[in-house]
Structure 1
Amino acid sequence: MANVGFLPASILGRASFILFFICLARPQNIVVFQPSFLITNGPKLSSFLLGNTSGVSLNLRRVSASNTTGTIGSSSCVAEATRWALKTEQMGKSVVQVHLTLSQSLRLCGENETNADCCLKPLCVLETLQVSACVGSTPLASLLIQATINARLFPANASSDNKTVFPNQVYQPLGICPCDLTSRACDARCCCDQDCSNEELKLFASHCLPGPFGGQVSPVPDYQCSMQSAENSPDWFPFLCVTSPLENNPYLGLFYQGDTIAPRPGLSFRMPLLSAPVPPSIYIQGSPVVTSDDKYFTIPQMFLGRCINGAPVAFLQNFKVECVTLFRSCPTGPPIKTPQKDLITEVLNGQGGIIKVILTDEDASDKSLFLSSGQVDFTSETLVCENVTLALDYKFYWKGNGITSISLTRTVGTILLNGSLALTTRYSAVFLNGESVAEPNSGNPGYQVGRPVIAGVLDNNTELMQRTLINIWKPVGDGLCSSASVKPVVFGENSTSGCLLPIRQPNITQCDLLRETVADLQAGLTTATYVAQRGNPDLTSMTDWVNISFVTRNVSTATGATAGVCGDIPSHQHIRVWSLTTSLVDGIPQREIQALEVSYSMSTWALDCGGGDVSLCENLEESQLFSITSSVTFVDIPINTEPPKTRFQINFTEYDCNRNDVCWPELAFPFTRYYTGEPYSQSLAKGMILVFMFLAAAILGTPWRQIRQAWHNA
């Protein structure tokens, strides 16, 4: 960069200075250079031309000082050929930035080189330039530049690829001579320095640096028996000294020149490579399913909010995911476009055999469940995408520690693509033992936060509990109850959700039917009658289950149909769960459900025909949206660690300082724990001192002296 002679105090100061010149130059219709004189040591420089720059041309030439006056001549509008390139940049209406760039290489010329694009001597450029701002042949302003530029010197082996390799000190042993501080030179008093000659060592042989940092073994400690001849030995020395060789010292091996560990270059954040799966002898819960060619059996699954196509399937772990993909052309690769032979896979059954996936194709009857609205391009032609995979539903039949069979139902369809389209594909895997689904537990034994709450319905024929879930609303799409789905209640997580129900005028006149319709929608969320106390309930033992308490709805007399108002609508269902921490297993709290209650909140619905909009009340086809909500709240029952109160403590409150104005335990306030103004030990000590002084005064006082005199007289 150029070192210029004009050095502003700050960027703000320079900008203010330029604005000042603009204001000064504009009314006078003149132009000026700012700065008007530059000294540069580099091949690039710039300046500003301020004022009325319309019709102004710039000319560059070399100038020299006069031999008689020592000054430079007047400006000239005649341009000359130089080795500098002049460029301008319009910064505003009244500001032009002027750039000068040296068009010559600054490398030093070789011995026999005749190329003009190099420097003949180290002082490459030494000249004075003048930039003139002219209107026609009349100069208005000038810029003087003093250029003093030296040639750039490059090392002779600049193009060599050899690099100095500095050893990594983490993998190098400590040096054998710590006091060797100067390379290829003898350090004074460093007797282990390999650069010291014998003559130099004789100069300080008797003054070597002591201890291990001088390259010597640590001095003999005082407790060594070999130090018996030492002066000022303690009295215990002849009896309690230690005999130990000098090699046995704490610095043994500290400066040992041992082998080094060669570091292996590589990225510490590199993703570890997945090792080849080991074929299982038997399957256990959670172990990956392996194919016959020793690869993981994969199905697209959700991981960290994204769909992963190559996710392994775990034994006895069900899942159901939805993946959304945006298409602008017909898909050509898996999993959306997968050949039939790639889906019929051979899988190890975990018992030494091989089973093959049984594939069944179905055509999608309703493609609206899989397609979302995208951008339509009317300029392009419509593409017909045939046999697009819309859903893959796997069923794994298992027994013991093996898989007996696998069936796959693939849902395909033909899609018309015009522009872009969002496709929602569904993937699921369910493990069936016979015809019963393998349901995972929610804890062992107590519930864990984030796991579903397990509910059940008692089968009167088999006397076994059939597992099910307690659900709340999960609105999707347009949020209507007709298209909404449900999601299970998760232990320890409070939640509120709902959906919208369109109501028309004929519905609001039939309050009983409307009330029953909403009640049936809410009752469909909780079909169970029992809830499991723990996360791993026994389906055959009723002691692991608790009855669900349903609060009866109090329905009052309905409002008249003529008013268009319906009351006592069970629009809100509230689930309240009481849980208790019973124990700890490996530091993890084990929680049990003590009770579960389902209640309803009533509301009054009426069509809103106010605000001048009476279409809802006049048009029978117009509808208004009303919300149906559901919520769940978990209540932790606190553990009472205090001993139970006695009947005396409960009934007799005379000595209870919290429920009585008179507190007898605080009669001796400074001596009790109720006094917190200072530490209890200090208050007790001060109180005892006061008691002692009172007794001393009583004994030495007048009454006691009279008693003693009467005793002596008697």
Structure 2
Amino acid sequence: MANALFFTFTQVLYLLLYCFASNAENVVFQPSFITTHGSSVTALLYGNSSNITLNLQTISPSNVTGSFDPPSCVPGMSQWILTSEPIAKTTVQVKLRLNRSLRLCGNNETDTDCCVNPLCVLETLQVSACEGNTSQASLVIQVKVYALLVSGNMVFDNKTIIQNQVYRPLGECPCDLTFNTCDLWCCCDKDCSVEDLRLFKYSCLPGPFGGQFPDPEYQCSVQSTQNSPDWFPFLCVTSPSENNPYLGLFYEGNTIASKPGVSFGDSISSAPKQSNAYIEGSPILTINDQYFTIPRTLNGHCVINAPVAFLKNFDVRCVTLLQACPTESPLHTTPEDLRAVVKNGIGGNAVVDVTVQLATELNYFVTSTETFGSSVLVCENVTLALDYNFYWKENGVTGITLTHTVSTVTLNGSVSLTTRYSAKFLSGDIMTEPNSGNPGYQVGRPVIGGILNTSMGNDTVLIDRTPFHLWKPVNSGLCSTADMRPVLFGENSTSGCLLPVSQQNLTQCSLLRDTVRSLQEALNEATLFAKNGRPDALTRADWLNISYVTLNSSGVEDSNSSCTDIPSNLHIYVWTLVTGFVHGIPQKDVKAVQISYSRSSWKVECGGGDSAMCMEPAETQLFPITSSVTFIDIPLNSGPPKTRYQINFTEYDCNRNDVCWPELAFPITRFYTGEPYSQALAKGLILVFFFVVASVLGTPWRQIWQIWNTI
């Protein structure tokens, strides 16, 4: 109860104070006094400002009292522009902006719009909030602005030329970053005049960046005779001051120009003119100087018009809820709309080559449906995927291909549609195939297969490339809807799909075996395998023959309910070997490839109370078909074969123990290959001889000899 009474009393007291303040003064500046060193000032005016006008004048202290004159509502002359803007019901933002140039006047310059002295503006301003001829509030501003340290004939540009810094320690003046302009706090800048240096001569940039290169501590001239250690006169270095640790910290300079960024949130807009070749990350432009765009995701949202950056691959998915047939891009487009013309970056143009592909299986794209109506809509040519391939060479685009996947979507309510958009940059011309290494294979790149082209005649060898594939099941995992994925070098993998087989199919085992074999052989049609990641299609030596292993039959006969010797498992074995190094990176080549099949027996299971499989011949059961690849590394040097003693007794095995006794006499063993064995043996025996002589003539033997003579 006491807290409630105190709260009510506080509210009443605050209301009385507010009313008293309102009657005494309607408006107030916040803050009421400002000191600025810039060309703009901002303050706030609080209160009822409906009948308030603002007046600006320059004031000065009185010669008699030393204080400023009272606020006045008489307009005066000023070099400042006063503006006001309401930002709330009882709040006004007041802005002052200097209406003159802060450029320092040059020598013999006649232009009056410049600063004669470095201290360009030094004055006191007063802003009065007047109601009629009466001032209700005032704001005092003390201004102290220095001139900009630029010359009168300075041409502003966004380019900076850095001098050649190969043979100079950070250049003569590293902090001199702006050409023909005095940089603040850079006392070694030759563009700064004496008047400029007075402004910051006590705040110069220290260290090498400010042009002050300290001598290294190992210089003989650095250490004094009192503080130098005993070893210093013998180990100090005498060298010129130009030879210091700061030499070469900057590379050779060049002209650097700012480049506009790319906004993925905006719609298609005019792009800046680009006359140079493409570089990594720069946007690709059309012939109308527009950004070439492809839909992609940004922060979880699908952006319809996103610029494509040179050499930047992406693969995204966009989910759209369809309740009606689409009529706009990108879900509804024609090949003519997609056949855009872009600048290739090397002075020409490139036209997008569009290939339309019809998708028959929609389980991968249509994820969910919701029925809430009786009418059925059939939407034709709905875009399911846009897959771009950009072929590039050096700093240009040699060609663009697009695979436009479309299908017919049936709407009975709403459909959740997942569309795929991808862009892939492939090195080389549009007619050439991408490589997987240079020269050795790179891990993660697709392996390269080939088929001998016999149509070129007997004297010409031409090998057509073809990839190796594994199964890539999607959705239900059935072989009828499964996709294929490439075999990647150095990555062991196993995948498969499911084949529905009925009791009736098991009565035709020969046909079933041929069907499974044809499915497995469709994965890999190649008869040759590339040795390295950059094979020559006209050189037969760059290709290997693939060996096939045919397994013998199990000998078990087929029955009415089972089939044997089904080639359901495909195995690819690849043997690799490191053949050399390029810049320290090992280069792997393929030495042998083998493809084999594992056979299995298929039989319909009727256990577990499910007798329909055996009672109904048309009922199907799912059987797996698998494919796998295994990469086997061949050791560089296997070494001599191990003896029976090394195999059975590991105490003296240097490869499996921290202590290796055979290495005690390593220079005179067969394992030492630094020089011929005869020379190593002779040097080892000489070393042993000197050791024995030193031991005989040493102190212990001399003492024994003296004792022997005294007996």
- Aligned mates of 1:661, 1:636 — CA distance in 2: 26
Instruction: Give 1:470 shift.
Output: 0.7
Shift of 1:625: 1.2
Amino acid at match of 2:288: D
Partner of 2:274: 278
Residue among 451, 462, 480 paired with 1:482 = 480
Q: Residue 573 of structure 1 is aligned with which of 557, 570, 574? A: 570
User: Residue 522 of structure 1: SS of its match in structure 2?
Assistant: helix
2:441 is matched with which residue? 447
Deviations 1:202-240 (A, max 9, x none): xxxxxxxxxxxxxxxx9xxxx99xxxxxxxxxxxxxxxx
> What is the aligned partner in structure 2 of residue 523 from structure 1?
521
1:537 aligns with 2:535: yes
Moved more, 331-340 or 629-638: 331-340
Alignment of structure 1 residues 119-158 onto 2, 5 Å = none
Report the Cα offset of residue 373 of structure 1. Answer: 4.1
Confirm or deny that 1:499 pairs with 2:497. Answer: yes
CA distance in structure 2 between the aligned counterparts of 1:671 and 1:405, rounded to whole angstroms: 66
Corresponding residue SS for 2:414? coil
CA gap 1:599/1:325 in 2 versus in 1, 3 angstroms: farther
Q: Any residues of structure 2 matched to 1:72-471 within 5 Å, and which?
A: 82=5, 84=7, 103-104=11-12, 106=14, 109=17, 112=20, 173=185, 276=272, 278=274, 290-300=285-295, 310=305, 325-338=320-333, 342-343=337-338, 345-347=340-342, 366=360, 368=362, 371-378=365-372, 388-390=382-384, 411=406, 413=408, 415-416=410-411, 418-424=413-419, 437-462=431-456, 463-471=461-469
- One-letter amino acid of the counterpart of residue 327, structure 1: L
The answer for the alignment partner of 1:550 in structure 2 is: 548
Counterpart secondary structure, 1:561: coil
Query: In the alignment, which residue of structure 2 is the partner of 1:623?
Result: 620
The share of aligned pairs that are identical, in percent, is: 39
* Mapped partners of 1:374, 1:164: distance in 2: 69
Q: Which amino acid letter does the alignment assign opposite residue 331 of structure 2?
A: I
Displacement of 1:418 in angstroms is: 0.9
Contact 1:579 1:593 in 2 (8 A): yes
Instruction: Label 1:110 to 1:294 Cα distance change in 2 as closer, same or farther (>3 A).
Output: closer
2: distance between equivalents of 1:114 and 1:402? 72
Label 1:534 to 1:271 Cα distance change in 2 as closer, same or farther (>3 A): farther
Provide the rounded CA distance (Å) in 2 between the counterparts of 1:112 and 1:285: 68
- Extract unaligned runs of 5+ from structure 1: 1-59, 63-80, 86-100, 116-153, 176-191, 194-217, 225-249, 251-263, 707-714
Question: 1:299 deviation in Å?
Answer: 4.6
Partner of 2:591: 594
Partner Cα distance (1:410, 1:357) in 2? 15
1:4-41 CA distance string (max 9 Å, x none):
xxxxxxxxxxxxxxxxxxxxxxxxxxxxxxxxxxxxxx
1:672 and 1:366 map into 2 onto residues whose CA distance is: 70
Task: Give 1:292 shift.
Answer: 2.1
Q: Once the two structures are superposed, what CA deviation does each residue of 1:336-380 show, in whole Å capped at 9, x if it has no partner?
A: 234787445445578867687788989x68474775142314269
C-alpha distance in structure 2 between counterparts of 1:590 and 1:432, whole Å? 20
SS at match of 1:334: coil
After superposition, the Cα gap between the structure-2 partners of 1:440 and 1:431, relative to the gap in structure 1 and judged at 3 Å, is closer
Provide the aligned C-alpha RMSD in A: 6.3
Letter in 1 for 2:477: G
Residues 70-123 of structure 1: CA deviation (Å, up to 9, x unaligned): xxxxxxxxxxx94647xxxxxxxxxxxxxxx965565882694599xxxxxxxx
Q: 1:595 to 1:333 in 2, by over 3 A?
A: same
Alpha-carbon distance in 1 for matches of 2:363, 2:420: 9
In structure 2, distance between residues paired with 1:365 and 1:345 = 23
**Distance change (3 Å), C-alpha of 1:616 and 1:557:** same
SS at match of 2:368: coil
The AA in structure 2 aligned to 1:335 is: P
Aligned residues: 471
TM-score (normalised: structure 1) = 0.51
Separation in 2 of the partners of 1:674 and 1:591?
A: 36
Structure 2: state its 5+ residue gaps: 24-29, 34-42, 46-92, 95-140, 146-182, 188-200, 203-213, 215-219, 222-243, 245-257, 667-686
Distance 1:387 1:586 in 2: 51
Contact 2:373 2:412 in 1 (8 A): no
Worse overlay, 335-344 or 414-423: 335-344
- Deviations 1:621-661 (Å, cap 9, x if unpaired)? 22211111111122222322x8x65xxxx69x69x877789
For the structure 1 residues 280 and 467, does the alpha-carbon distance in structure 2 shift closer, same or farther, using more than 3 Å as the test?
A: farther
Secondary structure (helix, strand or coil) at the match of 2:370 reads: coil
The answer for the alignment partner of 1:229 in structure 2 is none
Matches within 5 A, 1:635-654: 635-640=632-637
CA contact (8 A) 1:287 1:314 kept: yes
Name the CA shift for 1:533/1:540 in 2 (closer, same or farther; >3 Å). Answer: same
Instruction: Give the SS at the match of 1:375.
Output: strand
Give the aligned residue type for 2:332. K
C-alpha contact 1:454 1:468 (8 A) present in aligned 2: yes
CA pair 633-164 structure 1, distance change in 2 beyond 3 A: farther
**1:544 Cα offset (Å):** 0.6
Q: Is the 8 A contact 1:299 1:310 kept in 2?
A: yes
Matched residues in 2 for 1:440 and 1:422: separation? 32
Displacement of 1:448 after TM fit?
1.4
Residues 576/314 of structure 1: CA separation in 2 closer, same or farther (3 Å cut): farther
User: Does the 8 Å contact 1:670/1:687 carry over to 2?
Assistant: no
Partner of residue 510, structure 1: 508
SS of match in other structure, 1:278:
coil
Residue 675 of structure 2: aligned partner = none
Secondary structure at the counterpart of residue 602 of structure 1: strand
Distance 2:31 2:469 in 1: 78
The answer on whether the counterparts of 1:397 and 1:431 sit within 8 Å (CA) in structure 2 is yes
- Whether the 8 Å contact between 2:392 and 2:425 is mirrored in structure 1 is no
CA distance in 2, matches of 1:355, 1:410: 22
Look at both structures and tell me which one has the larger radius of gyration over its CA atoms.
Answer: 1
Deviation of residue 517 (structure 1)?
2.3
Listed one character per residue, the Cα deviations across residues 418-471 of structure 1 (whole Å, up to 9, x for unaligned) are: 12332446779999999x953111112221122110110111222310100111
CA distance in 2, matches of 1:307, 1:449: 32
* Distance change (3 Å), C-alpha of 1:543 and 1:311: farther
Instruction: Specify the code of the residue in structure 2 equivalent to 1:490.
Output: L
Alignment CA distance shift 1:423-1:342 (3 Å): same
Query: 1:445, 1:535 within 8 Å by CA — same for their partners in 2?
Result: yes
TM-score when normalising by structure 2 = 0.51
Q: Deviations over 1:98-156 (max 9, x none)?
A: xxx965565882694599xxxxxxxxxxxxxxxxxxxxxxxxxxxxxxxxxxxxxx987
Distance 1:339 1:359 in 2: 10
The equivalent residue for 2:559 is: 561
Distance 1:617 1:112 in 2: 100
- Rounded to whole Å, the distance in 1 between the matches of 2:344 and 2:372 is 52
Distance 1:346 1:270 in 2: 21
- In the alignment, residue 582 of structure 1 is paired with which amino acid? T
* CA–CA separation in structure 2 for the residues paired with 1:692 and 1:318: 76
Q: CA deviation at 1:518?
A: 1.9
